[in-house]
Structure 1
Amino acid sequence: MRNGGDLVVETVTALGVSHVFGIPGQNALGLFDAIRRSDLRFISSRVENNSAFGADGYSRVTGEVGVLFLSTGPGALTALGALQEAYATGVPLLVIASQVPRSGLGLRRGMLHQLDDQKASAVNVTKSVATVREASEIPSLLADAYALAQSAPAGPVWVEIPQDVLLDPVENGYVPPVPTLSPVVTQRAPRAELVDAAAAQLNSADRPVILAGGGVRRSPGGPAALVALAEKIGAPVVSTVGGKGAIPFEHPLSAASWIEDRYTTELLEGADVLLAVGTAMGEVTSNYFTFAPRGQLIHIDAEARVLEANHRALALHADAATALSALAEKVDARDTSAGVAAAATLRKSVEDRLATQNVDVELTLMSDLRAAVPGGTHTFWDMTIAGYWAWSAWDPRGGAFHSAQGAGGLGFAFPAALAAAIATGERTFAVSGDGGAMYSIAELATARQHDAKVTWLIVDDGGYGILREYMTATFGAATATELARPDFAALAASFGIAAHTATLESVGEIIAGTFDTDGPAVVVLPALLRMFAPTHL
């Protein structure tokens, strides 16, 4: 006879789910046992936080909801750091966590893995939390959660199910089999009077500029709507880190994404009308809160709390693509030459500034990596010096750029990239430092088990390099940043993974070579990199 676990699996299958991430646990065994009676493909990581990063990476490359199965207590809590990244970045996830039996909910009975209030732990990193009390609730509750995860602003949704609900039989007469489900996903449209007001401001502008954030990339049709509006009003477009790729770098109106350079800040400040879409204009985007707009600001975002959080604006609470398309219908077409010139001038100014700094090694490395990685490749970057360079310097070239800049935690790149490789069947590229690599090193086993076509570059500088640099600049010396670490190449080889040790001169050629192979590959680059000089101090 079916049980609650079968009903969960039926429901997610009816929603169109094909892949599930997680790690089995005692309270969740009824759920995991049901997987073997289904067509779901289960990807078992070695640490729950990495399972969540995997579901995140899967969602980013497929556009689908990433689904995560967690066990009670320690398993569920271990995933919270990665869920913060998904929540901050707007990645839709359906998190299904087990719970102790209903007889223990809210009590302190000493049950294994028991928490006083498990779902309360997830409140700060999810859009909503809920607990199933009866098996009959499962189909509707999961369908609603699945739709909510995708509805703007997208993000993780948490549903927990007690152990006895997962194990108890479910009679067909009370809960029939679930064949198909069609959740209703809502995308908020802008109010008409606000569109009219924004269009009037753009029509009167002499120096319009667009700031495109991650909300543009995540919005279905967002990049195309952005380019159409920019071309119509002749506005240069600056991309945030999350918005990188919303407009191709080769587009004449693209001012690229050197968001931490003062020249970019000055272009944004100098606009008489600045249209900021899908961005909170937070710490990094604002060049560490030095950005102070002098003209009129129009702010579009799907999350109401983001609007005017940092600057007064004409605020449109709306999905990015919907709002941009509505504006394009209302604005006047104009010549693009001034916008093209402004974008080109900005990019040349940044290039000239970098030429005065001692960063030839880093510029060459980024150039060599870009040449080695084929266009269209999904790339994943940890919080590491090479990743910080990529925030500004990396041209996605038809692929998608993914980083952990939302929450800023370590260990994102490799588990997200290997999940993306499993999802697409194409090779992905991940970059970590040696410090961040140790957060996800156990997933070498996962990559080998699933034969994921992922290339992992580990830049080994013997410590937390970016923190070393920050502390030295601030305090004159670094503390607690130096790390013992394994022989990464030998460790990867012990899993049967192709492993290489590179130099700055050979790393590009070695990386390029991995794209002609099957299965996972690890490339270790011993190198001490440095950041470009900050312009916000």
Structure 2
Amino acid sequence: MKTCGEVLVELLEGYGIDTVFGIPGVHTVELYRGLPNTGIRHITPRHEQGAGFMADGHARVTGKPGVCFIITGPGMTNIATAMAQACADSIPMLVISSVNHRHELGLGAGRLHELPNQRQLISGVTAFSHTLMRPDELPAVLARAFAIFAGARPRPVHIEIPLDVITAPADHLSRSIPALPARPAPCLASTRQAATLLREARTLVLLGGGCADAAAVARDLVETLDAPTSLTINAKGVLPPGHPLSLGSNQSLKPVRALVREADVVLAIGTELGETDYDVVFDGGFEIPGKLIRIDIDAEQLSLNFSADLAILSDAGLAIQALMDALGHDRHSRNGARRVAEVRARLDQDWQQSFRAQQRVLETVQQALPGVIIAGDSTQPVYSGNHLYEAVEPRTWFNSSTGYGTLGYGLPAAIGAKLARPERPVVALIGDGGIQFTLPELASAVEAGAPIIVLLWNNSGYGEIKRYMENREIPTIGVDIYTPDFLAIAHGFGCDAVAATSFEELHDQLQAAASPGARP
């Protein structure tokens, strides 16, 4: 007789899950009983936050949910930060945890790992959190989770299983996988109305991470409209490097904001129009005085941050295709490329010298590592790259400076990305402060055979925060932190480690690190 825990892993395999991230504990060992009978690979991080960030990185490069097995109590509080980052950035993640026996829930009796209400604690960073009270609920609850991943705005889902339910008989449960919903298509009347507004208007397009899987048709749309186009951080690569209509990801800067204010119509697709993409200078200066057409898969999101004159609930790709059909394929001339070139020229005049130096680092990475995926942390080269880096394709540049804005993300997220895309070079771009949040995950990379490249920006402290304090005449307390010998630490974990002293040396070291048989 198979238990609920054993049937669970069979169902996960049926949904196409091939990797699970988790740290076994006495409350979750029964989830592991059935793993050897599946093709699912288990990766052991050194901290549950690392598990969540690995699942996040895995999901970002594949578009499929990352899955974690997490113990009751401390495991859930440890992973909460990673779930919050995934929730803020609309990343699909399935967190399956244990919880105390059904008859012990909510009693406060001091049981091992007991929380007053684990589900309530975590529900704020999930699409939903569910306590599985009977094995018979399992197929339906998993179907609900994967329906969200397939057909709605993706976010984390949490399913907690009481200890007496994990071990309960469940061989009678169906292993069949239900049909998953397609993503919603747009209302045709709204699409035609949008086409009417766009046909004669001077348009500016804002593309968000919701367009990551619709790059080809999005490019056709902006070229048909001849519209200057900005990309959010998670949309980098939707337009290729050097595209004549691309403004990059510079919506927070004055020349781009001026172009937005001049637009008759702003078309925002798959973007929440949030602060970390549109107002990283935090002055409240991003404005849309013209008409706003919003397209988003999340109905609630269509009413947040900026009110739309026309709101279309739809998957980005389906809506763009419907717009193209309504517009026809005759290309309009709005001098878009000339206007973009003028804005880019003004931007180029104003870049800080530090940005230009960090841009050269990123260009060296791209030259040395064709097809590179860069998972970044909150660190100075990432902030520069958010403005200046041009990804060759979507899902190859992402970082934790967006949305929730946590530290320690880059290293474990890169591991997750490398496990999902072993054929691609993967770089963790991280600072000396951020890496100390999750530094033990180097051991996870070695153990899992995931030869990522850690590109460490070492300025001996929290440099960005120090500058922020100095600019406001605040005493720089707590930002000049002790800097360990990272090369020695890396060697201790079994990694190769070198220091680059020139761009030429960096280029050669990157190529060597990506060669067959290289270690992390």
Question: For residue 302 of structure 1, what is the aligned residue in structure 2?
Answer: 297
Counterpart-to-counterpart distance in 2, 1:181 and 1:269? 49
Q: Which amino acid aligns with 2:60?
A: R
Question: For residue 385 of structure 1, what is the aligned residue in structure 2?
Answer: 380
Q: Which amino acid aligns with 1:453?
A: P
Seen in structure 2, the aligned counterparts of structure 1 residues 71 and 327 have a Cα distance that, compared at 3 Å, is same
Q: CA deviation at 1:495?
A: 1.7
Counterpart-to-counterpart distance in 2, 1:305 and 1:383? 28
Within 5 Å, give how 1:330-341 maps onto structure 2: 330-332=326-328, 333-336=330-333, 338-341=335-338
Q: Does residue 145 of structure 2 align to residue 140 of structure 1?
A: no
Q: Is the 8 A contact 1:244 1:401 kept in 2?
A: yes
Within 5 Å, give how 1:520-531 maps onto structure 2: 520-521=519-520
Q: Is the 8 A contact 1:5 1:33 kept in 2?
A: yes
Seen in structure 2, the aligned counterparts of structure 1 residues 135 and 363 have a Cα distance that, compared at 3 Å, is closer
What SS is found at the alignment partner of 1:290? coil
Seen in structure 2, the aligned counterparts of structure 1 residues 336 and 509 have a Cα distance that, compared at 3 Å, is farther
Counterpart-to-counterpart distance in 2, 1:359 and 1:401? 17
Question: For residue 512 of structure 2, what is the aligned residue in structure 1?
Answer: 513
Identity %: 32
Question: For residue 219 of structure 2, what is the aligned residue in structure 1?
Answer: 227
Q: Is the 8 A contact 2:13 2:40 kept in 1?
A: yes
What SS is found at the alignment partner of 1:238? strand
Question: For residue 207 of structure 2, what is the aligned residue in structure 1?
Answer: 212
Q: If the length of structure 1 is used for normalisation, what is the TM-score?
A: 0.91
Q: Is the 8 A contact 2:4 2:167 kept in 1?
A: yes
Counterpart-to-counterpart distance in 2, 1:369 and 1:261? 26
Q: Does residue 368 of structure 2 align to residue 372 of structure 1?
A: yes
Q: Which amino acid aligns with 2:297?
A: A
Counterpart-to-counterpart distance in 2, 1:519 and 1:304? 47
Q: Does residue 181 of structure 2 align to residue 185 of structure 1?
A: yes
Question: For residue 8 of structure 2, what is the aligned residue in structure 1?
Answer: 8
What SS is found at the alignment partner of 1:303? coil
Q: Does residue 21 of structure 2 align to residue 21 of structure 1?
A: yes
Q: CA deviation at 1:335?
A: 3.4
Counterpart-to-counterpart distance in 1, 2:460 and 2:345? 34
Cα deviation digits, residues 258-287 of structure 1 (max 9, x gap): 233211111222111110111121213333
Within 5 Å, give how 1:74-93 maps onto structure 2: 74-93=74-93
Counterpart-to-counterpart distance in 2, 1:73 and 1:282? 32
Counterpart-to-counterpart distance in 1, 2:157 and 2:200? 42
- 1:466 maps to which of 458, 464, 474: 464
Q: If the length of structure 2 is used for normalisation, what is the TM-score?
A: 0.94
Q: Is the 8 A contact 1:46 1:442 kept in 2?
A: yes
- 2:198 maps to which of 188, 192, 202: 202
Question: For residue 318 of structure 1, what is the aligned residue in structure 2?
Answer: 314
- 1:268 maps to which of 242, 247, 260: 260
Counterpart-to-counterpart distance in 2, 1:18 and 1:484? 40
Q: Is the 8 A contact 1:127 1:149 kept in 2?
A: no
Higher mean displacement: 91-100 or 260-269: 260-269
- 2:341 maps to which of 341, 344, 351: 344
Q: Is the 8 A contact 2:228 2:339 kept in 1?
A: yes
Q: Is the 8 A contact 1:365 1:504 kept in 2?
A: no
Higher mean displacement: 32-41 or 502-511: 502-511
Higher mean displacement: 438-447 or 238-247: 238-247
Q: How many residues are matched?
A: 511
Counterpart-to-counterpart distance in 1, 2:5 and 2:322? 45
Within 5 Å, give how 1:420-431 maps onto structure 2: 420-426=417-423, 427-431=425-429
Q: Is the 8 A contact 2:23 2:70 kept in 1?
A: yes
Question: For residue 166 of structure 2, what is the aligned residue in structure 1?
Answer: 166
Q: CA deviation at 1:472?
A: 1.1
Q: Which amino acid aligns with 1:322?
A: L
Q: Is the 8 A contact 1:422 1:453 kept in 2?
A: no
Counterpart-to-counterpart distance in 2, 1:76 and 1:58? 20
Question: For residue 503 of structure 1, what is the aligned residue in structure 2?
Answer: 501
Q: CA deviation at 1:26?
A: 1.4
Within 5 Å, give how 1:67-106 maps onto structure 2: 67-106=67-106
Q: Is the 8 A contact 2:362 2:389 kept in 1?
A: yes
Counterpart-to-counterpart distance in 1, 2:518 and 2:69? 26
Q: Is the 8 A contact 1:130 1:159 kept in 2?
A: yes
Counterpart-to-counterpart distance in 2, 1:345 and 1:69? 51
Counterpart-to-counterpart distance in 2, 1:493 and 1:291? 47
Question: For residue 237 of structure 2, what is the aligned residue in structure 1?
Answer: 245
Q: CA deviation at 1:306?
A: 2.1
In structure 1, stretches of 5+ residues that fail to align are: 522-537
Q: Is the 8 A contact 2:273 2:305 kept in 1?
A: yes
Seen in structure 2, the aligned counterparts of structure 1 residues 136 and 490 have a Cα distance that, compared at 3 Å, is same
What SS is found at the alignment partner of 2:53? helix
Cα deviation digits, residues 476-527 of structure 1 (max 9, x gap): 5422111113211111111221111122543333223312243443xxxxxx
Seen in structure 2, the aligned counterparts of structure 1 residues 481 and 49 have a Cα distance that, compared at 3 Å, is same
In structure 2, stretches of 5+ residues that fail to align are: none
Q: CA deviation at 1:336?
A: 4.3
Within 5 Å, give how 1:32-51 maps onto structure 2: 32-51=32-51
Cα deviation digits, residues 201-257 of structure 1 (max 9, x gap): 10120x21111111111xx4x212211211212112111112111111232222222
Question: For residue 128 of structure 1, what is the aligned residue in structure 2?
Answer: 128
Q: Which amino acid aligns with 1:230?
A: V
The CA RMSD over aligned residues, in Å, is 1.8
Q: CA deviation at 1:358?
A: 6.3
